A = this chain, B = another copy of it.
Amino acid sequence: MLAVEAMLREKNLKVTPQRLALVCELRDKGHLSIEELYYSLKSKFPSISLATIYKNLNAMIDNCFVEEVKLPNVKSRYEISKDLHSHVICQECGKICDIDIDLSSVLKCDTISNSGFEVQKSALVISGTCCDCQAKKQK
């Protein structure tokens, strides 16, 4: 919590209760959609508006504190920036998981290095069917 406040101040973002709750929500639950954030915060702050969610997310994205995760077929999710990781999404139930995959060898392949392209970021999204949903489908 203190760490979160310090991070916000470091980015010249004031520490308001709404903003603090938003960050904690993202930190605890990870990759949330706008709606999930909105309804979740609405329980703590009944008068909170969608505009506040948007403004805060955008401010934090501008400060590289939060990242948008674009996924196939569904709306974007938002998460606190952390070490490079990939996402796995089940097309049946929509469940999203983080996964640590070492892409360094892939990103150093000849095609890229020969082209002179300087890699800064990479995003890998794997979609398919999770274990539970496979079981359900077999029934």
Contact with B along A70-105 (1 / 0, CB 8 A): 111000000000000000101100000101111100
Q: In the bound complex, do residue B88 and residue A121 qualify as a contact, i.e. CB atoms below 8 Å apart?
A: no
Q: B residues within 8 A CB of A123? A: 72, 123-125, 127
State how many angstroms separate the Cβ of A65 from the closest Cβ of chain B: 16
Q: Residue A91 contacts which of B88, B99, B100, B120 (CB distance < 8 angstroms)?
A: B120
Q: In the bound complex, do residue A127 and residue B134 qualify as a contact, i.e. CB atoms below 8 Å apart?
A: no
Q: Answer whether residue A118 sits at the interface, using C-beta atoms and an 8 A cutoff.
A: yes
Q: In the bound complex, do residue A131 and residue B116 qualify as a contact, i.e. CB atoms below 8 Å apart?
A: yes
Q: B residues within 8 A CB of A124? A: 103, 106, 122-125
Q: Answer whether residue A111 sits at the interface, using C-beta atoms and an 8 A cutoff.
A: yes
Q: B residues within 8 A CB of A91? A: 120
- When C-beta atoms are compared, the residue in chain B nearest to A73 turns out to be B68
Question: Footprint of B on A, CB under 8 Å?
Answer: 68, 70-72, 88, 90-91, 97, 99-103, 106-107, 109, 111-112, 115-131, 134
